[in-house]
Amino acid sequence: SAKKAGRGQYRFFDQSLNVTDAEAFHLEQAFPEALAKRQFVLHFQPQVCLETMRLSGFESLVRWQHPEFGLLYPDRFIDMAETTGLVIPMGLEVLRLTCEHLLLWRDEGLEVETVAVNVSPVQLTQPDFGATVLELLKSYGLQPRDLELEITETAVLDARAAEQIHILKNAGIVVSLDDFGTGYSGFAHLESVPVDKLKIDRSLIARISNSHDDSPIVSSTIILAKRMNLKVVAEGVETREQLVHLKVAGCDFAQGYHISRPIPADQVAGFIGKAVEALEEPV
């Protein structure tokens, strides 16, 4: 870092370069080697089915085990990876790691139905993305139903991405629209790019509070989604009240700190063992 190099080194940085830019620059330089050395790791956040209160799957979330800076979360490097295109090889590594973990859990006899993987719009605009994902699954002996892909609104609005989404959906991969309710499109665009699931953004879920336990926006979103034959996932569920409200409102799945934080792969077996008791309590 600049500090380690000595006080004099600071003058080499342009004044307009803030700490974040300097960090992003450093991380960009280190990224290819990090990929080669397999420094990217996944954490897995459980998702539960609200009807049965059983585990329905996990979402994989990337972290960078940086040798100097420790465990870095995606807010530190995803934007840079998208701008530089490095998100393409990183995304492939995330898919590989997800498949490897899924196979290991199943070898241990753990029932993990699906793992959802976040996909950047930059990946989706690659004309071979769909084919690459399908080949990868095949090479691991996995089925399209083993994987879910989480896309964003930006991808829904891009014609090249829409083409890849069609390929993946037609092959039987479940596609979810992430962070729903934060952008501009709302429901109108969903008619042109059919997805299977909506993930209601945690900023909307946060409106469900103790004192104000009915959020008309969330309830209406669930009703509209149902009318469009979409499954609904609530993200960022942090309280029992939110969970109860969502269940009553007809939401299908929930994910959030109230259920579990994202956990490292080696804690997944322990979570599944515990989850059966803890989650089956009637809400």
Token readout for 219 is 């309830």
**Residue 200: which of Mg ion, ligand C2E, none does it interact with, CB under 5 to 8 A by kind?**
none
DSSP state for residue 80 in the 8-state scheme = H
Tell whether residue 133 is a contact of ligand C2E (CB under 6 A): no
Closest CA to 253 of 222, 210, 228: 222
Could you tell me the smallest distance in angstroms from the CB atom of residue 173 to ligand C2E?
A: 16
Query: Where are the alpha helices (H) located in the chain, listed in sequence order?
Result: 19-36, 78-84, 87-107, 121-124, 129-139, 153-156, 159-171, 202-205, 216-227, 240-248, 268-280
Footprint (CB under 6 A) of ligand C2E, residues 262-281: 262
Footprint (CB under 6 A) of ligand C2E, residues 79-98: 87, 91, 94
Query: How many other C-beta atoms lie within 10 A of the C-beta of residue 205?
Result: 25
Tell whether residue 181 is a contact of ligand C2E (CB under 6 A): no
Which amino acid, one-letter code, is at 131?
Answer: A
Could you tell me the smallest distance in angstroms from the CB atom of residue 101 to ligand C2E?
A: 13
**CA neighbours closer than 13 Å in the CB half-sphere of residue 167:** 18
Footprint (CB under 6 A) of ligand C2E, residues 184-243: 202, 235-238
Tell whether residue 118 is a contact of ligand C2E (CB under 6 A): yes
Pick between residue 45 and residue 222 the one whose CB is nearest to ligand C2E: 45
Could you tell me the smallest distance in angstroms from the CB atom of residue 122 to ligand C2E?
A: 8
Could you tell me the smallest distance in angstroms from the CB atom of residue 153 to ligand C2E?
A: 12
Q: What is d(CA 204, CA 182) in angstroms, rounded to the nearest whole number? A: 8
Pick between residue 91 and residue 130 the one whose CB is nearest to ligand C2E: 91
Closest CA to 249 of 283, 215, 276: 215
**Residues 6+ away with beta carbon under 8 Å from 250:** 222, 223, 226, 232
Closest CA to 236 of 280, 195, 180, 183: 180
Token readout for 96 is 């590989």
Closest CA to 234 of 33, 56, 17: 56
Q: Which of 46, 57, 130, 256 binds ligand C2E (CB under 6 A)?
A: 256
Could you tell me the smallest distance in angstroms from the CB atom of residue 172 to Mg ion?
A: 20
Q: Which of 27, 30, 45, 271 binds ligand C2E (CB under 6 A)?
A: 45
**Residue 281: which of Mg ion, ligand C2E, none does it interact with, CB under 5 to 8 A by kind?**
none
Could you tell me the smallest distance in angstroms from the CB atom of residue 154 to Mg ion?
A: 12
Could you tell me the smallest distance in angstroms from the CB atom of residue 128 to ligand C2E?
A: 17
Q: Would you tell me which residues interact with ligand C2E (CB under 6 A)?
A: 45, 61-62, 73-75, 78, 87, 91, 94, 118, 120, 150, 178-179, 202, 235-238, 256-257, 262
